[in-house]
Amino acid sequence: MMRYVIIGAGPAGLAAVEAIREVDVEGEIALLTMEDVPAYSKPLITYLLGKKVQEKNMLYRTREFFDEHRVEVRTGAEVVRVDTDSNMVYLKNGESLSYDRLLIATGGAPFKPPIEGLEKEGVFTFTRWCDEKDMAEYIERNGVHEAVVLGGGLIGLKTTEALMELGIKVHIVELADRILAATFDKKASEIITRALEREGCEVHTNDTVVQVKGGKRISRVILKSGKEIKTRLLVVAIGVTPNVGFLRDSGVRLGRRGIMVDDRMRTSISNIYAAGDCTEVLDESTGEWRTIAIWPIASAQGKVAGYNMAGREVRYQGGIPMNSVELAGIPTISVGCTNVEGDDVEILKYEDPSSSVYKKLVIKNNKLIGAVFVGDIDRAGIYTGLITHGVDVSTFKDALLDEGFGLIYLPKEYRKKLIEGELKVWLE
């Protein structure tokens, strides 16, 4: 009987469980998570803090799911070492487990910069449910009315919104020249920045926190520019790094950031697989391998890994970076390569300042490789399909930003495949 061990209970790990059980109904499955609760939606923790959802809405898999799939779940199980010679996984509490097939789906861990005073009470990262619980308790206990969020990416901005929902004045501190610099250009960032400022948020760009002041508990932060901000709460949200430290001496090949995998999600060790934010995967829009930390890709990789672990050969087709989120009441979508330049790159833009609408398309070699939509995300799925399928847009390029752009503009053969279900496209 095959014994499967899965490290990580996020979308990749859960998708692998389902895939394994489609193929192997007899094998043993052990699911390990260092958290107290398995199978919850991490993107919802900011909504939970802001009291927009309740705890009962956090779980996307219940106890019945694990019983039905006959999964042994171990919470609070932190893996500290993997011995690939003896096929053993070692836990921080001294326990160990053997495996025939191992899946590493450990996601990412928040990055903490070397800032003086960062160990003080009132300094948090915000990527797990336990972070939300600790922060909510701290805010109530200390009567927090002002906070600093270090980092103007998606995690930082969604945390900012949650804090503002609680009536807390927020300062965003971002090292780059704009918020959301990884996916938005200056114009898109300006729209969101103005919306945040209208709601009372202060945005400090080209700056960072260099020192945390106070006694045992934070009382203020010092910025590189010399500015001083009084605060009882600092949230460090400058990104995550693949959680792969326990693999350093395992023989599993690591890339620049995450675990290197082939198109079956197999690592350099034949019976070890990896999926999700801890891996380096193919970015279809560039042809390069990199970490793409989004839920749909993690789930797709987990499914591929699960099938192959159980003996059904399936290949991962790659994916593209994509984020869809509402910020300061403004819907936004970014997909593909949105910040590229070069003589062979063409940028198409549309802007309506009166309604905070902005659209940007990036074209290279007659193919759409990236798109940004702010304020109006209608038909974004069609553009996503064009990017995903590498469609030549040269014959209808001038119509791409027309108000009525839709399927009728697309090549006849492409439309036929969409209608017949041969291709996937999002038509929201």
Predicted confidence (pLDDT) per residue in 67-89, tens digit: 999 999 999 999 999 999 999 99
Q: Which amino acid is located at 311 in the chain?
A: G
Total Cβ atoms within 10 A of residue 102: 25
Structural fold of domain 3-109+241-309: FAD/NAD(P)-binding domain (3.50.50)
Does residue 327 have a pLDDT over 70? yes
Q: pLDDT by residue (tens digit) across 308-317?
A: 999 999 999 8
Structural fold of domain 123-238: FAD/NAD(P)-binding domain (3.50.50)
Q: pLDDT by residue (tens digit) across 188-233?
A: 999 999 999 999 999 999 999 999 999 999 999 999 999 999 999 9
**305 to each of 271, 276, 292, 359, how far by Cα in Å?**
11, 10, 16, 36
Determine phi and psi for 49, rounding to 5 degrees: -60, -40
Q: pLDDT by residue (tens digit) across 190-199?
A: 999 999 999 9
pTM strictly above 0.85: yes
DSSP 388-402: HHT-B-TTTGGGTT-
Tally of residues, the chain: 428
Q: What is the rounded CA–CA span in Å between residue 185 and residue 383?
A: 18
Q: Identify the band that residue 104 occupies on the pLDDT scale cut at 50, 70 and 90.
A: very high
**What's the mean pLDDT when you consider all of the chain?**
92
Report pLDDT for 427. 37
Domains 3-109+241-309 and 123-238 share a fold: yes
Q: In which region does residue 25 sit, left (phi positive, over 0), alpha (psi from -120 to 50) or beta (all else)?
A: alpha
Structure tokens at 59: 């779980």
Domain coordinates of the chain in residue numbers?
3-109+241-309, 123-238, 329-419
Report pLDDT for 419. 63
Place of tokens 């960062």: 118
Question: How far is C-alpha 326 from the chain's CA centre?
Answer: 15
Q: pLDDT by residue (tens digit) across 2-38?
A: 999 999 999 999 999 999 999 999 999 999 999 999 9
Domain 329-419 carries which CATH code? Answer: 3.30.390.30
**91 to each of 24, 34, 116, how far by Cα in Å?**
26, 10, 31
Residue 350: strand pairing partners: 359
